[in-house]
């Protein structure tokens, strides 16, 4: 079965730029999505089709996908961005989630 | 604004069948795929399966033999049945609108906690 690998945790200082990676075999040949989940809340889609932002998602969130790695980048990170982030890809007509990355804004 | 609401028992006995329903408001259930996702306490997200209005469906291979999904167009609802549950099925269960392989899961319910215990 297809697997997506994320770092368990990443930290960043307020105002800085942070990137969260998601690795999978030939992931660049598939579309990647990213979700933000804050404690006690449902996940929120922040990136789809590798780099598109849904309505209402701040411009500081961006995405890319090439080779075996998809990347979520937050530019000018704010304290409100502290959350768990999950990548997701479509493989063989099924969805696969990465294990999640806890982003800490120090 | 599309809204989703999960409903169903919060406690299920081992070996029994977990049954949940998701009610969709603010939009028709007829033109999208609809997914179920779960999250065990303190762990990550796991996709369970999706269904389309035609009845076409797909499930996570790791759960496939235990998962049944259905849709009721007249009630704007879709449902999940997970058979032969064990403690490992204890999780928050979410329903979500599924835009397909390129658009992701763009609307989510608030989630419902289901505990498997005797």
From residue A75, alpha-carbon distances to A35, A60, A84 in Å are 16, 5, 17
Mean pLDDT of B30-58: 92
A55 touches chain B (CB under 8 A): no
Nearest in space to B46 (alpha carbons), one of B65, B32, B60: B60
Work out the minimum CA distance from A90 to partner chain B, whole angstroms: 5
What is the C-alpha end-to-end distance of chain B, expressed in Å?
39
The strand pairing partners of B70, in sequence order, are B79
A:B CB pairs within 8 Å: 62
* Pair B68, B2: CB distance under 8 Å: no
pLDDT in tens, A13-32: 999 999 999 999 999 999 99
How far apart (Å, rounded) are the C-alpha atoms in residues A50 and A27? Answer: 10
Which residue in the set A54, A86, A95 is minimally distant from B106, CB to CB? A54
Contact A90 B109 (CB under 8 A): no
Residue A37: pLDDT over 90: yes
Each residue's pLDDT tens digit, A39-84: 999 999 999 999 999 999 999 999 999 999 999 999 999 999 999 9
């Amino acid at each position: 079965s297809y697997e997506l690998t994320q770092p368990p945790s990443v930290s960043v200082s307020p105002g800085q730029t942070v990137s969260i990676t998601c690795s999978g075999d030939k992931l660049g040949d598939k579309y990647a999505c990213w979700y933000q989940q804050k404690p006690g809340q449902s996940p929120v889609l922040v990136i789809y089709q590798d780099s598109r932002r849904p309505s209402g998602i701040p411009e500081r969130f961006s995405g890319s996908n090439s080779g075996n790695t998809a990347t979520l980048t937050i530019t000018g990170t704010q304290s409100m961005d502290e959350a768990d982030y999950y990548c997701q890809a479509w493989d063989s007509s099924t969805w696969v989630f990465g294990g999640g990355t806890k982003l800490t804004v120090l | 604004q599309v809204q989703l609401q999960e409903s169903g028992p919060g406690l299920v006995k081992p070996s029994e069948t977990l049954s949940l329903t998701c009610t969709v408001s603010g939009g028709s259930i007829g033109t999208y795929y609809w997914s179920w996702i779960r999250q065990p306490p303190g762990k990550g997200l796991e996709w369970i399966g999706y269904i389309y209005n035609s009845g076409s469906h797909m499930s996570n291979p790791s759960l496939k033999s235990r998962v049944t999904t259905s849709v009721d167009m007249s009630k704007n609802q879709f449902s999940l049945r997970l058979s032969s549950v064990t403690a490992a099925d204890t999780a928050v269960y979410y329903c979500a609108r599924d835009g397909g392989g390129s658009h992701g899961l763009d609307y989510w319910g608030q989630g419902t906690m289901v505990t498997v215990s005797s």
